[in-house]
Structure 1
Amino acid sequence: MDAAAGPVAGVSAEVAGIEAALKEIAYLASRARQHERMMAVAGLDLDRSAAALLRSLSEHEPVRSGELANRLAVEASHITRQVQQLERTGYVTRVPDPDDGRAQLVELTPRGRAAVERIRVVGCLGMQQALADWPAEDIGTLAVLFRRMVDDFVAHADDEIAFEVPDAS
């Protein structure tokens, strides 16, 4: 076991193992090479930040650029540039905010929706391929437990951590 996945004071070995596995999955999913392969299969020419923005936008649209920046934890100026590029290439459009005539909302165009669907399909197919040797019952159990874990993470996202990290020295 690698040191990063070893015991953690005050945490069960199972929880430490889950944290390490999620970190590894996030790393594998966010690698540039993996992204390039996904985009090639999807037939799209989008960088990682553009793909993330489109996927985020597809979950809740239309939305102000500032909200997209908050969701993606990036600077508003980065979102502004990205939205401008995606608008030029026909993936998004800006529309007036009905609640504030001075503001604009960003929404997907039909081309943007199609791109998000292609990305989603390729992601699902990749996951299906990775889990091809798993029994259907195990996949069902994993799906239920992942959904439960995500729901609990969301429910506790703003909670303060209830312990102090031990001094490493």
Structure 2
Amino acid sequence: MPRPEATPHREVDTAHIVELERALARVAYLLTRVRRHDRAMTQCGITMDRASVPLLRILADAEEPLRLGELATRLDVEAPHVSRQIQRLEKSGYVERVPDPDDRRAQRVRPTPQGRDAVDAIRDVLRGWMQDALTDWTPEDLKSLAVLNHRMVDAFLDHADSIGDYGATARERRRP
């Protein structure tokens, strides 16, 4: 589905932007609560800290093993933070290091089968919770919400590109 071209100087309804920002803040809060994470890990039977989950998800979604610097860029965090998280995930058996085919001195990281299983289990739990919460929504409403969310993320990524925020890359774009 083609996206409409953005108009650089178009006036935006500030009241709607304020409400959208408030709604997104509420969603972000709900998705990142410690108790929610702990419940999900218990339900999955997995031991993993909150910071490791998005890192492992990125690795599981990547088409090839990634360098630590690429992970840091995608997560918009400092490289030492990623190094520590990778060490924890490696000790737990969720990721492994492999040689970088382009540079013998460098290494890349990929999920192990156990790491992929962990991501699948986490996604199953979270999707189940989402499905339970949205059970009264029509299929059309769910489709519209997904389409609009993808469109919004693409717009955010386009804006990030225009201001030089390369933490969110075009490779993360997924259209329904």
TM over 0.5: yes
Q: 1:61-140 alignment to 2 at 5 Å? A: 61-140=64-143
Q: Choose which of 46, 49, 57 in structure 2 pairs with 1:44.
A: 46
Q: Choose which of 159, 162, 168 in structure 1 pairs with 2:162.
A: 159
Q: Which residue of 2 aligns with 1:53?
A: 55
Partner amino acid, structure 2, of 1:82: Q
How far did 1:12 drift? 2.5
* 1:102-132 alpha-carbon deviations (Å, 9 max, x no partner): 0000000000011111111111111111111
How far did 1:59 drift? 2.2
How far did 1:11 drift? 4.3
How far did 1:158 drift? 2.5
Q: Which residue of 1 aligns with 2:25?
A: 23
* Percent identity (aligned): 53
Partner amino acid, structure 1, of 2:48: L
RMSD of equivalent CA atoms: 1.4
- TM-score, normalised to structure 1, is 0.84
Q: How many residues align?
A: 151
Helix, strand or coil at the partner of 1:107: strand
- Structure 2 unaligned segments of length 5 or more: list them: 1-11, 164-176
How far did 1:156 drift? 2.0
* 1:69-90 alpha-carbon deviations (Å, 9 max, x no partner): 1111222112112111211111
Q: 1:135-150 alignment to 2 at 5 Å? A: 135-150=138-153
Which 10-residue stretch deviates more, 37-46 or 102-111?
37-46
Partner amino acid, structure 2, of 1:17: E
How far did 1:18 drift? 1.1
Cα distance in structure 2, aligned partners of 1:29 and 1:40:
16
Partner amino acid, structure 2, of 1:44: I
Cα distance in structure 1, aligned partners of 2:73 and 2:155:
21
Larger RCO: 1 or 2 (CA < 8 Å, sep 6+): 2
Helix, strand or coil at the partner of 1:45: coil
Larger Rg: 1
How far did 1:30 drift? 0.4
- TM-score, normalised to structure 2, is 0.81
- Structure 1 unaligned segments of length 5 or more: list them: 1-9, 161-169
Return structure 1 stretches of 4+ with deviation > 3 angstroms. none
Helix, strand or coil at the partner of 1:158: helix
